[in-house]
Structure 1
Amino acid sequence: MRRRRIPTIVGLLAISAGVLLLALPELGGGLLPRVAATLLTVGVGAAAVVLAARELFDSDDPELRLPTPESRPQYRVPGAAFAERLDRISTVGRRAADDADEWDGARERTPRERVYASLHELGVDVLGRTDGDTPGAAADRLADGAWTDDEAAAAFFADGLCPPLPRRASFPLVRPELPVVRRARHAVAELAERLAANAPDSASRLAPVETMGDGAAQGEYWPTAELPRTRSTGRTRRVAVAVLLASAGGVVMGVPGAVLTAAFGIALAGAARIWEPTADIELTRTLEPRTPTPGATVEVTVTVRNVGETTIPDLRLLDGVPAGLSVRSGSPRLTTALRPGTERSFTYALTAVPGTHAFESPLVIAGDFAGARETVRTVAVTDGHDSLACGFERRSDDASSPREQATQMPGQQKAGVTGSGVEFDSLRAYRPGDPASRIDWHHRAKTGDLATVEFQEPRQPRVAVVVDARRAAYVAATPGNVPAPRHGASAAYSVADRLLDDGVPVGIGTVGAGDCWLPATTGEAHREAIRTRLAGDAAVPWTPPEESTQIREAVDDLTARLDPDVQVVVVSPLCDDDGVDLVRQLEGAGHGVSVVSPDCTDPSTVAGAYAHLARENRLSTLRGHDIPVRDWDPTTPLREVQARGAAV
């Protein structure tokens, strides 16, 4: 602002001097006034050129990031890291062909070795599970290529990591797929087919890495901290530049008419400064239906009314679509002009997904008549609906009917303390006041001493359901799909709801995002508290956390909150090895651990098939340590998950 103040003062003084000379021409006579007029002319001309250049290339308005309500945040696709490794191999290999470098140089071997090691581990696991091979026998079969009839897949493990480049790879503008990448792709397809997965076609190429999401922190979904703000649109900048240059030319060439064109620019800039654009409006929003089922279409109707006394010449509205909902049809934007007392409505459709979705505050952009400045601010919805509830409902099956137990150790369990009960634990010396019914009279007859019998006190098992909401867990089958932690929130509520129906005290917690913790207890109020926490986005947000989670610290935090006898149900996509470490370390802390794992992989693609194989390997690892794991397809309706017993 200070940079503009000095030129403005100089310009006003120059204009005042010019007006004074026009009103009193006799002041221009004599040598000194002529010299002053000449200097003034040159100064005004130079200043006009400088101001024109600065107006063209400079702007005092900082950049303002506006939300994009048409789509939810983008997430990383499982297998994207594998695709990036193969892409890295291709990039390095092609550069080696272009530069005539040694093909087996040290700098090319690292990415190949990483891909080979990961696929070799998966191959040993798959052959062991499908054919019953020991790890040594499976490794021998991979090495001699006898495990498959696909020559390219067999060659990946049998013929080394640096096959010769095809001759056409050295031709200009020719970029064929490198042999090691093609062999890796065939190996993944063959291993996936052995697991009876929806294996990709071995002839299919890798999808572009750009289509798999980058998993980068995207910041706040609906940024409003810098609002309200009045800013320049930049539309008058070119007009101002043209006016200033014309004025400068008129000054230098002595053409008064050209100089007077500056009055137009002054008037335009003055109007933009004096009249700040405003919009006095009221908004209403209606949703139909209010409580849809997952996957249903929700019609949103927004009505904006001008309740002010002036016309709004330029009004742009962005409705606050929640981060968890995607627009199916229509647009949540409106551009219009409104006279006093008039209104406009627009409609768009959303796809419902489980959760309680609170709409963000709509954004309003009001421009002035000249299109020079605009005001950006939020506005509250004065009437109608401000949230959408989907899923997270009570089970509808008969609570009295027989059903599968929901924990790995159902029924009563030992409490770790002694007292009254039915199961003998130990004898101790008699203490005055002990009940006579607990005195061991046989011990008295044998030894002559009084002794009191101690029993194990029965206690109802307690369960903590923990949702894996780490940054790495935010994966989805496609970049714009529902992320795994939100599927995990739905599964966690299904587990808790079933356990509460069984009378088991249940608590919930999260690892990674948020700081959600509810101690284990029972009751309808507690059930509603669990539903509110998991259905909303405070405990498990739709945007991934910016920082990675240290597993050791997360386990220490959980164990500090858990009593030793509490069983833990971990809900995790198991999309990385840290998910396995989380489960293993909780088990190592002495807790009985079960796992519910939503499967967000897509084995129909090469990268997705690799992620599916890696995830199956992690599930196999946990089961090998006697940790029960329930593999859950999130596309299955929750009522079916409940009927099958979502918790293990």
Structure 2
Amino acid sequence: MTSTRRLSVGVGLLSIAVGGLLLALPALGSGLVPRAVATLLTVGVGTVAVVIAGRRLFESDEPAVRLPSPESRPRYRTPGSSFAGLLDDVSTVGRRAVDETDDWDGDGEFAPRERVSAALHDLAVAVLARTEGRDAGRAADRLANGRWTDDEDAAAFFAEGLRPPLPRRASLPWVRPELPVARRARHVVAELADRAGTDAPDPTEGGGLAATDDAETGAYWPTADLPRERSTGRTRRVTVAVLLTSAVGVVAGLPGTVLTAAFGVSLAGAARVWRPSTDLAVSRSVSTRTPAPGETVEVTVTVRNVGDSTVPDLRLLDGVPAGLGVDSGTARFATALRPGKAASTSYTVEAVPGTHRFEPPVAVVGDVAGARETVQAVESVDGPATLDCGFERRGRESEAPRPQVTLASGSRTAGVSGAGVEFDALREYRPGDPPGRIDWNHRAKTGDLATVEFEEPRRPRVVVVLDARRAAYVAETPRGVPAPRHGAAAAFAVADVLLESGVPTGLATVGATDCWLPPKTGSAHRDAVRDRLAGDRAVPWTAPSDETVVADAAADLAARLSADAQVVLVTPLCDDGGVSLARRLDAAGHSVSVVSPDCTDPSTVGGAYGHLTRRERLATLRRRGVPVRDWDPTTPISEVAHVER
């Protein structure tokens, strides 16, 4: 309690005491002021002071414990949500800019209308250049003169500038009509989607998805901060209510009212002394421990009071894995438990590929007065710790990896000099060289002994690199499966095919976690790759808190990769970082192929913008000779095992 609040409480209590004395001993107020006036003033001051002291009745002095929402997955960004947010932010601000500096907002960035214009101009130039076979300059000219489309709103966006006349009702302070810039921008996105051959969104609808621009990051389950005992603030409210009731009783001369307030004092005192039992045991059972993807799993949680005292207020929150959402039932319930008694709840989840680890249940135990509560994680759980949905096996079909690209012109397959059948080099004779490899023609011409080296065939080494950067955590819907988890299933499908063919295959992730498995073969190595990709440690369900510097990540990978290693990069290509990573690895001399899970939803304007920008990134890589497999996660995962050339 602060010094100001202590002073307020002191003044209030003193004023109420003086009021009580004036009522009990009227002679004390004679000769000063009338008794009734003195009493009302004194008690009134006390009441006001107490109310001021309790101005934070509904707040707690202790930081709140963040409890997760296990009913659904963490929230993810959707491709194009940033653009949709810009459309929503477009307003009359910046319309009357007279020079370049007026186009900037207070954060040192261009105002939303300028940023929307720049983003759409670059996208439109790329789409027109690709679909019409024009160069970028001519495409930009067509945008400027408005002849690129028959849609008047779309043509006017580039031809008439960013400050068209506003409707008259826009000047009314209580009206915010749709601005022409935002309407025209939506028509541009719809027209570009139609040009690109995708389903065009309805341009009359809003941008959509703007609320999902920020994804949840950090730890999913808050067990690191537990246990913690906290105050609910109810004791403070009871104390203020007691003081006010006593003041009313004093003013009205009702001793029974003052006596009633004593029950509140007793209740607050009991909350300070009595503590409920926190000795709990939780068990969990599931209908199946190894469900198939899409199968419904029923989970039953039972909590038992193993202490010696009653738990009057128990709220239990089961640790549903981050990748599984609750389909029916509830993962949380409230009850009261006597010693030795138990209570249960059931809910169902739909299995998705991967190994899902249950988190420790969180119990909130409150006292009988509801004044204080203890938040704790219940570690002693009987039952399965994980649900293993596994990854689909591909079988023995395979394709040869892409030929290794070198820094010199041309290409070659990976190999080493040694005993083989194809001539590779001629070197000086060394004692112990087989006589059959001595070049006797060279001996006859020069008089020196020389040994022939042949190229020894060797299978190329392949490293599957999974993009798990913060920017890669996008999903088709805010509570859907994020792209890195789709990518984990695709990465295992590729690795499984290569390992089945005897190709040494490794694994690496780019993101907050450092996962690296050097290229090897064998069933034990396959199991290690599967365990890393199926679990949630190397590829967590929540996005990393920090951004990844692509240049540093590429340099770290290049340092680990052998000279002949080929790379299969699995990335959603939802930002330019995925393109940069592929190009940097390719420039380092490693043959790079890309598998890209498509997590876009082009049905809205924002989603269509994200879909179009992703398609342009695919086209950019293909123009630079990088093979790309565009994979729809709703199709069988077996299709990603063959990377197109």
Q: TM-score, normalised by structure 1?
A: 0.85
Separation in 1, partners of 2:413, 2:425: 14
Separation in 1, partners of 2:103, 2:428: 75
Separation in 2, partners of 1:375, 1:473: 38
What is the CA distance between 1:394 and its match in structure 2?
Answer: 2.6
Aligned to 1:107: 102
SS of 2:234's equivalent?
coil
SS of 1:463's equivalent?
strand
What is the CA distance between 1:564 and its match in structure 2?
Answer: 1.3
Deviates more, 1:456-465 or 1:45-54: 45-54
Aligned to 2:153: 152
What is the CA distance between 1:160 and its match in structure 2?
Answer: 2.9
SS of 2:289's equivalent?
coil
What is the CA distance between 1:174 and its match in structure 2?
Answer: 3.2
Q: Is the 8 A contact 1:577 1:618 kept in 2?
A: yes
Identity of aligned residues (%): 63
Structure 2 residue runs of 5 or longer lacking an equivalent are 15-41, 105-109, 406-410
1:612-641 Cα shifts (integer Å, max 9, x gaps): 111111111111110111111111232444
Separation in 1, partners of 2:222, 2:429: 70
Letter in 2 for 1:293: A
Q: Is the 8 A contact 2:217 2:544 kept in 1?
A: no
CA 521–91 in structure 1, closer or farther in 2 if over 3 Å, else same: farther
Q: Is the 8 A contact 1:76 1:213 kept in 2?
A: yes
Aligned to 1:356: 355
Aligned to 1:165: 166
The 5-angstrom pairing of residues 118-129 of structure 1 reads: 118-129=119-130
The 5-angstrom pairing of residues 176-215 of structure 1 reads: 176-207=177-208, 209-210=210-211, 212-215=212-215
Q: CA RMSD in A?
A: 3.3
Aligned to 2:582: 583
Separation in 2, partners of 1:178, 1:623: 38
CA 366–636 in structure 1, closer or farther in 2 if over 3 Å, else same: same
What is the CA distance between 1:572 and its match in structure 2?
Answer: 0.7
What is the CA distance between 1:260 and its match in structure 2?
Answer: 5.5
Aligned to 1:25: none
Separation in 2, partners of 1:507, 1:320: 33
Quick check: 1:380 aligned with 2:379? yes
CA 47–205 in structure 1, closer or farther in 2 if over 3 Å, else same: closer
Separation in 1, partners of 2:464, 2:323: 22
What is the CA distance between 1:208 and its match in structure 2?
Answer: 5.8
Aligned to 2:448: 449
Quick check: 1:636 aligned with 2:635? yes
What is the CA distance between 1:258 and its match in structure 2?
Answer: 6.3
Separation in 2, partners of 1:243, 1:52: 12
Separation in 1, partners of 2:541, 2:171: 47
Deviates more, 1:169-178 or 1:243-252: 243-252
Letter in 1 for 2:154: A
Q: Is the 8 A contact 2:403 2:413 kept in 1?
A: no
CA 251–169 in structure 1, closer or farther in 2 if over 3 Å, else same: closer
What is the CA distance between 1:459 and its match in structure 2?
Answer: 1.8
SS of 1:334's equivalent?
strand
The 5-angstrom pairing of residues 147-546 of structure 1 reads: 147-207=148-208, 209-210=210-211, 212-215=212-215, 218-247=217-246, 263-380=262-379, 382-395=381-394, 397=395, 399=396, 403-407=398-402, 414-415=413-414, 417-546=416-545
Aligned to 1:21: none
Separation in 2, partners of 1:132, 1:553: 36
What is the CA distance between 1:268 and its match in structure 2?
Answer: 2.0
Separation in 2, partners of 1:141, 1:252: 85
Letter in 1 for 2:288: P
SS of 1:78's equivalent?
coil
Q: Is the 8 A contact 2:618 2:628 kept in 1?
A: yes
1:576-609 Cα shifts (integer Å, max 9, x gaps): 1121111111111111111111111111111111
Aligned to 2:23: none
SS of 2:225's equivalent?
coil
SS of 1:90's equivalent?
coil
CA 49–161 in structure 1, closer or farther in 2 if over 3 Å, else same: closer
The 5-angstrom pairing of residues 590-609 of structure 1 reads: 590-609=589-608
Separation in 2, partners of 1:112, 1:55: 47
Letter in 2 for 1:323: A
SS of 1:486's equivalent?
helix
Separation in 1, partners of 2:564, 2:600: 34
1:365-406 Cα shifts (integer Å, max 9, x gaps): 2222233322221113532222112231433x4x2xx54335
SS of 2:486's equivalent?
helix
Separation in 1, partners of 2:532, 2:285: 25
Separation in 2, partners of 1:245, 1:364: 35
Q: Is the 8 A contact 2:462 2:504 kept in 1?
A: yes
SS of 1:453's equivalent?
strand
Separation in 1, partners of 2:120, 2:225: 49
Length, aligned pairs only: 602
Letter in 2 for 1:638: I
Q: Is the 8 A contact 1:500 1:527 kept in 2?
A: yes
Separation in 2, partners of 1:113, 1:315: 54
1:251-295 Cα shifts (integer Å, max 9, x gaps): 899987666566434422332122211243332212223322333
Q: Is the 8 A contact 2:315 2:365 kept in 1?
A: yes
Letter in 1 for 2:213: G
SS of 1:497's equivalent?
helix
Q: Is the 8 A contact 1:495 1:647 kept in 2?
A: no
Aligned to 2:72: 71
Structure 1 residue runs of 5 or longer lacking an equivalent are 15-42
Aligned to 1:89: 90
Q: Is the 8 A contact 1:414 1:456 kept in 2?
A: no
Q: Is the 8 A contact 1:469 1:540 kept in 2?
A: yes
SS of 1:590's equivalent?
coil
Q: Is the 8 A contact 2:470 2:545 kept in 1?
A: yes
